[in-house]
Amino acid sequence: MAVVNGRNRAHRPVTVRSSVTIVGASLAGLWAAETLRREGFEGRISLLGDELHAPYDRPPLSKKYLAGAVGRDRVDLLTPEKAAELDLDLRLGCCATGLDVSARELEVDGTPELFDGLVIATGARCRSLLGAEGVAGVHTLRTIDDSDAIASAISDGARQVVVVGAGFIGAEVASTAVEAGAEVIMVEALDTPFGRVLGPEMGAVLADLHRHRGVDLRTGTGVEAVLTDGSNGTGRITGLRLEDGNELGADLVVVGIGVIPNVEWLEGSGLTLDDGVVCDETCLAAPGVVAAGDVARWFNPRYGEAMRLEHWDNAVQQGAHAARRLLVADEEAEPFAPVPWFWSDQYDRKLQLAGRPNPEDDVRVVAGSTKEHRFVAFFGQGDSFHAVLGMNRPRHVMQAKALLDDGASWDEAIGFAGDWE
């Protein structure tokens, strides 16, 4: 019978470690720390974060927290009491600046230190809008400080809000700003929001949701120039010139055009980097080194492809899986093969997507009405059931996700949904 730091782990070979360092005081990083303790690990756990804030929940930053509906206490994930219970070496306001896998050496703010087990959970950062660097009134939304700055701008009277990018962050900010009384223009380079993921039919449904709430949605065009009240692109934002020639006035611009995984500090580390930290199907990047969350690109055997997911649920599940991977022998390591799932709250609608839709999929609405923005739609090809999209149908979406988990066929999924109203 194997023992992990005093706790029995029947029939499970383990790797004995004296300590684990987690780089990234993120959701994935915190779940890794919690999982290590739940699995019986009693060694030192160091949790490093580049922000001065303890770990917090990011989804509310573009929704309820941004709107002022919930306070800081509702987004904090790590209270002092919980940190003490986990017995964490919590180090905030410090940055990992280098790594040497072969030497088992991590560099923190330029100072090398040895590590035993390592979890990389450094997340991602927002892409910036070309020409907007240093311009007052232009924001991205990734951190709680970003959310505070946007909320202050809205409360201080910004009434012409332009959101660049109709992805979920942009769409959520747009809905929050509309409900705060702002006039909102949303600019999307694709012909329909999420057209590459959901295809034109469901993309049009999302477009209609925003237009129905008064958003001026401009699709099929990008930003050509940032307009300011200063010279040489300095000063405060006054508007944007679009690629189609139109000019938009703006008191506030929020940019949501995707993220870049934070891997620059890993150049020359010995790890493989390609749109994130490349891992095997168990989340292992190198012996004793795992990655989780937005920064991890791993091979998902369920789909037979490498993927990097930027979803809350994935950060939780992968953070936990990566932690367990550090504690087991290679021959006992299990693959991480989830069905992707996430949600987005926009206006009074909860949008949920589970699975991996393809723009070429057949789409069938199996319950509700897209015109009423309350429905469930299935995606698939032939007899393959790929994904489910729902709006204000959370119970049915989760039932369909269970079908995806079980590998149900298209006919089985359609038959199961036959009784839904």
CA distance 296 to 203: 28
CA distance 160 to 10: 62
The 10s digit of each residue's pLDDT in 220-265 is: 999 999 999 987 767 999 999 999 999 999 999 999 999 999 999 9
pLDDT over 60 at 412, yes or no: yes
Q: Say which CATH superfamily domain 2-125+260-332 falls into.
A: FAD/NAD(P)-binding domain (3.50.50.60)
Band the pLDDT of 11: cuts 50, 70, 90. Answer: very low
Tokens coding 266: 């890993």
Q: What is the CATH number of domain 348-419?
A: 3.30.390.30
Q: Which of 12-21, 63-72, 112-121 has the lowest mean pLDDT?
A: 12-21
Percent of the chain at pLDDT > 90 equals 93
Same topology between domain 128-257 and domain 348-419: no
**Which CATH architecture does the domain made up of 128-257 adopt?**
3-Layer(bba) Sandwich (3.50)
Q: Look at the alpha carbons of 399, 404, 410, 411 in this order and tell me if their dihedral is positive or negative.
A: negative
Tokens coding 191: 């012909």
The full DSSP string for 332-378 is G-----PPPEEEEEETTEEEEEEE---TTSEEEEEEEETTTTEEEEE
Cα 366 to its chain centre, rounded Å, is: 28
Q: Give the domain ranges of the chain.
A: 2-125+260-332, 128-257, 348-419
* Angle at the Cα of 212 from the Cα atoms of 208 and 218, rounded to 5 degrees: 60
